Amino acid sequence: MGRIGNIKDRKAKQDSKRAKIYTKLARLITVAAREGGTDPEYNASLKTAIDKAKAGNMPNDNIDRAIKKAAGDAGGDRYENIIYEGYGPSGVAVVVEALTDNRNRTAGEVRHAFDKNGGNLGTTGCVSFMFDRKGQIVIEKNDAIDEETLMMAALDAGAEDFIAEEEAYEVITLPEDFPAVKDKLLEEGYNFIEADVVYIPQTQAELQEADAKKMEKMIDMLEDNDDVQAVHHNWKEA
Alpha carbon 234 to its chain's center: 14
pTM, two decimal places: 0.85
pLDDT tens digit at each of 238 positions of the chain: 456 666 666 666 666 678 888 999 999 999 999 888 899 999 988 998 998 898 888 999 999 999 998 877 655 668 899 999 999 999 999 999 999 999 999 999 999 999 999 999 999 999 999 999 999 999 999 999 999 999 999 999 999 999 999 899 999 999 999 999 999 999 999 988 888 899 999 999 999 999 999 999 999 999 999 999 999 999 998 6
Cα dihedral sign, 108-113-115-119:
negative
Q: Considering the domain 131-201, what is its CATH architecture?
A: 2-Layer Sandwich (3.30)
For residues 94 and 130, the answer to whether their CB atoms sit within 8 Å is no
**Strands lying side by side in the sheet with 93-100:** 120-121, 80-87, 93-100, 228-233
CATH 3.30.70.980 describes domain 80-129+202-233: yes
Looking at residue 228, its pLDDT comes to 96
Q: Which CATH superfamily is domain 7-71 in?
A: Integrase, N-terminal zinc-binding domain (1.10.10.200)
E strands, the chain, are 80-87, 93-100, 120-121, 131-140, 161-164, 168-173, 194-201, 228-233
pLDDT tens digits along 52-101: 898 888 999 999 999 998 877 655 668 899 999 999 999 999 999 999 99
SS (H, E, C) 84-149: EEEECHHHCEEEEEEEECCHHHHHHHHHHHHHHCCCEECCCCCCHHHEEEEEEEEEECCCCCCHHH
Task: Break the chain into its structural domains and give their ranges.
Answer: 7-71, 80-129+202-233, 131-201
| Per-residue pLDDT reduced to its tens digit, 22-41 | 999 999 999 999 888 899 99
131-201 shares the fold of 80-129+202-233? yes
**Rama region for 90: left / alpha / beta (φ>0; ψ in -120 to 50; rest):** left
Are residues 142 and 103 in contact, defined by beta-carbon separation less than 8 angstroms?
no
Q: How far is CA 5 from CA 82, 137, 238, in A?
A: 26, 14, 7
Distances, alpha carbon 215 to alpha carbons 30, 92, 109, in Å: 31, 9, 16
